Amino acid sequence: MVRVLREGVQAMRSGQPRQAIASYDQVIATYETRYKERKEKVYCGSTPAEVLAYMVLAASQKQSAIAVAPNWAIAYFLKGYAQVELQDLPGAKASLEHARDLSPYNPQFLIELANLYKSEKNWPLALETYQAAKEHSAAFSLPQAKATDEMKALHGIAFVYSETGKLDEAEAIYKQCLAKNPQDAYAKHELDYVVQQKAKQAQVH
């Protein structure tokens, strides 16, 4: 499965998203066939902590569950990414929602899905999904990705606030981002925009 996933990634890198999707679909089909008869809820966990969290989640919902290697969810995630490249946004959303259902605490999956909700201007769902990504980045991001995942989630939350008129909240988050990383060009640019919007509003009032 890992080899087939790698082939997909390679195809994607060489600008062949359709070929990449064919590889990802092969992985997805293998897992679908393997687990479709199972009564338990199936989760994909990348770390022991993530697997344990899913078992606790299942228990709280009175469900029996099993955890398998993350390749199934990764295949859906990468397929969603390729579908975005092909401008197939409904398909991408379905794939990313599958990835999220298999790995509901995976910050990367949540961020990509939130980005899609954002592109649809579905602000409530985008906000909820970015907030979940931020919350889970502390516990479930891989060490090398933790800071990036948290920053992307914060950028997303602040963007939604700014688009929905909550300029004070957006300003506070962009300032928080710049306190963590003064080189954060995105936060700097967006903060300038928010400050301008606030100045315009002040003139109106």
DSSP letter string, 86-97: TT-HHHHHHHHH
Are the CB atoms for 138 and 150 separated by under 8 Å?
yes
3-class secondary-structure state, position 163:
helix
Closest CA to 45 of 5, 103, 92: 103
d(CA 115, CA 186): 15
Vertex 169 angle, CA 163 and 171, to 5°: 85
pTM score: 0.94
Query: Percent of the chain, pLDDT > 90?
Result: 96
The helix or strand, by DSSP H or E, that contains position 42, with its residue range, turns out to be strand 41-44
Q: Examine the pLDDT at 205 and tell me if it is beyond 80.
A: no
Closest CA to 147 of 181, 116, 179: 181
d(CA 106, CA 102): 9
Q: Examine the pLDDT at 190 and tell me if it is beyond 90.
A: yes
Are the CB atoms for 44 and 70 separated by under 8 Å?
yes
Are the CB atoms for 118 and 62 separated by under 8 Å?
no
Q: Examine the pLDDT at 204 and tell me if it is beyond 90.
A: no
- What are the φ and ψ backbone dihedral angles of 104, each rounded to 5 degrees? -65, -15
Question: Dihedral sign, CA of 156, 147, 144, 146?
Answer: negative
Are the CB atoms for 24 and 85 separated by under 8 Å?
no
Q: Examine the pLDDT at 45 and tell me if it is beyond 90.
A: yes
Kindly state the average pLDDT of the residues 87-95. 97
3-class secondary-structure state, position 16:
coil
All structural domains of the chain, each given as residue ranges with its CATH number in brackets, are 106-205 (1.25.40.10)
d(CA 107, CA 192): 27
Quote the mean pLDDT of the chain.
96
Residue 103 CB-density burial (10 A; 0-12 exposed, 13-18 middle, 19+ buried): buried
Q: Examine the pLDDT at 142 and tell me if it is beyond 90.
A: no
Longest CA span, the chain: 64
Kindly state the average pLDDT of the residues 44-50. 93
Q: What is the pLDDT at residue 21? A: 98
In DSSP terms, which residues pair with 65 in a beta bridge? 41
